[in-house]
Amino acid sequence: MPGTGSEPTRFMDREIEVEATEDAPRRPVAFKVGGRRYGVAEVLSSWEDEAPGAARDWRQRHDRTFYRLRTDEGDLFDIYYDWNESRRHHRDRWVLHRRLSTAPSAAPAPEPPAKEEPPSA
């Protein structure tokens, strides 16, 4: 879970490409970061953020739907769908907010079984 690994949270806040379901609410199924595609194994949680903008004007409000995701490789990410920017520019705007953890490296190889001692006579 977040904060339990040795890697700190990395804030990204960069626009990304997301493959999402067509139904409402849209749910991410994969996303690309720097040319690398991550499949979404599980949406762990989602929440709405309606933070006011700097002007505290309702037109400046930030409407975002956040998703905490576990990728097929076991990485944890928070991404969000920016409703205001998507409406304003007439295209979907998804943002990688932060990387919470990376998948643990490959587990160490198991130890070979102990040799059985022949029965003593």
Per-residue pLDDT reduced to its tens digit, 35-45: 999 999 999 99
In this structure, what is the dihedral angle of CA atoms 78, 50, 14, 91, given to the nearest 10 degrees? 110
Per-residue pLDDT, averaged over 3-20, amounts to 75
- Between CA 72 and CA 29 the distance in angstroms is 10
User: If you average pLDDT over residues 78-90, what whole number do you get?
Assistant: 82
Contact 96, 76 (CB under 8 A): no
- Asked if the structure places residue 53 within a domain, the reply is yes
115 in a domain, yes or no? no
- Between 13 and 41, name the one with better pLDDT: 41
Confidence check: pLDDT of 115 > 60: no
Q: How many domains does the chain have?
A: 1
pLDDT at 106: 43
Amino acid (one-letter) located at 56: R
Residue 2 inside a domain? The answer is no
* pTM for the whole structure: 0.68
pLDDT higher at 85 or 107? 85
- State pLDDT tens for residues 26-66: 899 999 998 999 999 999 999 988 765 555 555 555 688 99
Determine the structural domain holding residue 30 and report its residue range. Answer: 10-101
Give a yes or no: residue 42 inside a domain: yes
pLDDT band at 114 (very low <50, low <70, confident <90, very high): low
Question: Is residue 43 situated within a structural domain?
Answer: yes
Q: What is the CA radius of gyration of the chain?
A: 21
Please give the average per-residue pLDDT across 16-25, as a whole number. 86
Residue 119 maps to a domain: no
In a domain, 118, yes or no: no
**109 Cβ neighbours under 8 A, 6+ residues apart:** none
56 within a domain of the structure (yes/no): yes
